[in-house]
Amino acid sequence: MTTPSYLSGNLAPISDETEAYDLPVSGALPTELTGRYFRNGPNPRPGEDPGHWFAGHGMLHGVRLDRGRAEWYRNRWVHTKKFTDNAPFISENGVDLAAVTANTSVIRHADRIFALVENGLPHELTPELATVGPCDFGGRLATAMTAHPKEDPVTGELHFFGYGYFPPFVTYHRLSADGELVESREIEVPKSTMMHDFAVTEHYLIWLDLPFVFELGRAGMPYAWDDGYGARIGVSPRQGGPTRWFDVDPCYVFHVGNAWEDADGRIVLNAARYTQAGFTGLWAHIGNTGDPARHAATIATATLHRWTLDPASGSVKEEAQDDRGIEFPTYNDALLGRASRYLYTVGENSHSIVKYDHQTGAAQVRETGGDTGEAVFVAAEGARAEDEGWLLSVVTTGESSELLVLDATDLSDVASVRLPQRVPAGFHGTWLADGPR
C-alpha cells in the first residue's frame, strides 16, 4: 500500500518529544537575538493517519537563544482535547471548539502564548512549550479563532476572526492591548468558505471571500471548489459599518503579505495567489486524493499578486507581481497595515528564500539547499532601515535540520544552529524576544 504524500518525505511526522542543550552553532549568533523561536506544524502520533496533511496534531518546535548561545531545543505536542481524549469536533452535542489540533501558528499577545488553528479555540502554552489549555477569553469567544490574527503596531490591539460551518459564517473579533475581548461582530457572507487569512490596514479590515466552500456530508476535509460561488474581496471599516465587496478573478489565497492605504485612499493588498488549477492540484496532493498522476501535473505554488481597491470609485485593479512560485510571505511586523517596502517569501520547491523590493520591483533569491520553512523577520534594536535585522528559518536536508539565521538586508549567512533531530515541514513560527512586551 502506498504511503500517503502527507506521511512521507519531509511531511512525514516524527515519533517522539525530546530536548537537547548547548546546541552546536556555526557562525556567530547576534547577542541581541535573546529569546525563543517557536514553530508550529501538524504531526500525527505514530501509526495515525489523519487523512490530510492539515489534520495532524499540532507540534511545537522551540529553540532558546541567549546572548550568542543556543541554549536548548525541545518539541512538544499541543495537548488539546482531540490529542488527549480523541474527543470529536462535531457530535450530537454540537461543535467542541477545544477538540481541535492547534497545529498552524503560534503567537504572543498580552504576555500569553497561544497555539492556533482556524477551526477552534486558541490553546495557551508556557514558555517551555507545555500546554496550559484552551482559552475563550473569559467566556466571551464563542467562535473559532483564525491562525492569522493581526496585532496593530500602533494601538497594540489584536484583530482576528472566526469562520464556521454554520451561520454566522464569519465573525470579527478584537482584543485590547491587555488581552480583553472587547468587540465581536458578524461579517456577512453567503456560505462557509475556507477563509484562512485576512488583512488589516490603518482604517479597514480586508476579507477574502473565495470559491473554496464547505460541503455538508463531504468526507475528509469538507471543502471543495465551487465555480458558481465567485470571488470577492471585502472592505470593512475598523470602527464599524457595512462591508463593501469588490469582485475579483477566481483564485485562492492562503496567505496575505501586507496591506495599506496609499496617498490617494486606495487599499493595496499583496498576497500569495493560486489559480484554480494550481490550488486544486495542491489540495489533492496534500490530501492524497484523486489521480496522483493527474494532480502531480497540475500542482503549482502560488505567485505574488497585488490588488488595488478604490473605495471612492468602486474599482479594483489586479496585477501579477512575479511569475515565480512562492508562499509564506512575511515582512517587518512593525509596519503591519502601513506601507512597507520589503516582503520575504519561501521560493519555488521550498528550496530558497526570496526578498521582494516593492519600490524597485527587484527580487533577490537565496538558495538554501534544503526544505525551507517560513522566514520570520526580527528587527535589530534601534534599526534605522525597514530591513535592518535578521530572518529565522528552519531548513531541513535529509534527516538533518538547522535554524538558519540570515541578514535580512542582503540574505547573507549570519549563523546556523544544528538541531538534534529532523523538523518536518510545518506552517508558521514566531520570535519571542526576552523582556517586557
pLDDT of residue 297: 47
Give the DSSP H/E element, type plus range, for residue 146: none
| Contact present, 115 and 54 (Cβ < 8 Å) | no
pLDDT for 74 beyond 50: yes
Nearest to 104, CA basis, from 54, 36, 171, 143? 54
pLDDT band (50, 70, 90) for residue 255: very high
Report the CATH superfamily, name and number, of domain 5-433: TolB, C-terminal domain (2.120.10.30)
- Phi/psi at 131 (5° precision): -85, 125
Q: Which of 6-10, 181-185, 296-300 has the highest mean pLDDT?
A: 181-185
pLDDT of residue 296: 47
Burial 7-25 (b: 16+ CB within 10 A, else e): beebbbbeeeeeeeeebeb
User: Where do we find the cell 493595496?
Assistant: 268
Give the DSSP H/E element, type plus range, for residue 9: none
pLDDT digits 0-9 by tens, 180-228: 999 999 999 999 999 999 999 999 999 999 999 998 778 778 899 999 9
Q: Is 240 left (phi over 0), alpha (psi -120 to 50) or beta?
A: left
Burial 378-409 (b: 16+ CB within 10 A, else e): bbbeeeeebbebbbbbbbbeeeebbbbbbbbb
pLDDT digits 0-9 by tens, 308-365: 999 999 999 999 999 999 999 999 999 999 999 999 999 988 999 999 999 999 999 9
Nearest to 153, CA basis, from 334, 331, 337, 330? 334
Distance (Å, rounded) from C-alpha 196 to C-alpha 162? 9
